[in-house]
Amino acid sequence: MYNSIKVINLVMAMELHGYNFCKDNSIKSRNLQTKAIFEKLSKIELEHYEYLKKLLKKYKDGETVSEELNLPEDKGEIFFEKRKESENLAQNLEQSMIQDMNVLRMDYLIEEDFRDYYSMSKKVEDEQLREILSHFAGWEDNHAKIFKDEYDRLMDKYMNISWGG
């Protein structure tokens, strides 16, 4: 079985990496849709990191995880559904499609790796931590789907634009 404190330290580092990756790419991206996705998910990753930081303190202090430390709500999927409904995203075509597609694919793979890591929660002895990590695995799976869907959308658009685009 894995040590809870070591697991939390590692997943904190993963979430911080996810935050930095999304934040950096929100600045670099020229495509407004891609930029918005990275901005929103960077905030979500930071919320996850802050939650884990509080959780780690509880474990280090020898406290039990109580109801006051509820899981943060993962608002990624809700945000993107509302955004799709309120905007005509098909009109947002920029020169940077290839670069954005590469970055989106990279983040899709990162999110899948995170999901796979969190799915290893079965090896954590603490039942509450296993449940928390299981929630994170589900969230990372949703994040991977968001990036994959956007990658597929841009790829389709790129492949169907006339020469010179």
Q: How many CB atoms lie within 10 A of CB 73?
A: 10
pLDDT at residue 8 above 70? Answer: yes
As for how many domains the chain has, the answer is: 1
Q: What is the pLDDT of residue 69?
A: 57
pLDDT at residue 53 above 90? Answer: yes
Q: pLDDT band for 46, please (50, 70, 90 cuts).
A: very high
Distances (CA, A) of 76 to 21, 30, 105: 16, 21, 17
- What percent of the chain stands above pLDDT 70? 79
Q: What is the pLDDT of residue 94?
A: 45
CATH number assigned to the domain comprising residue 148: 1.20.1260.10
Domain holding 123, by residue range, is: 4-64+96-160
Average pLDDT over residues 47-63: 89
Task: Examine residue 11 and state whether it is found in any structural domain, yes or no.
Answer: yes
pLDDT at residue 135 above 80? Answer: yes
Residue 66, helix vs strand vs coil = coil
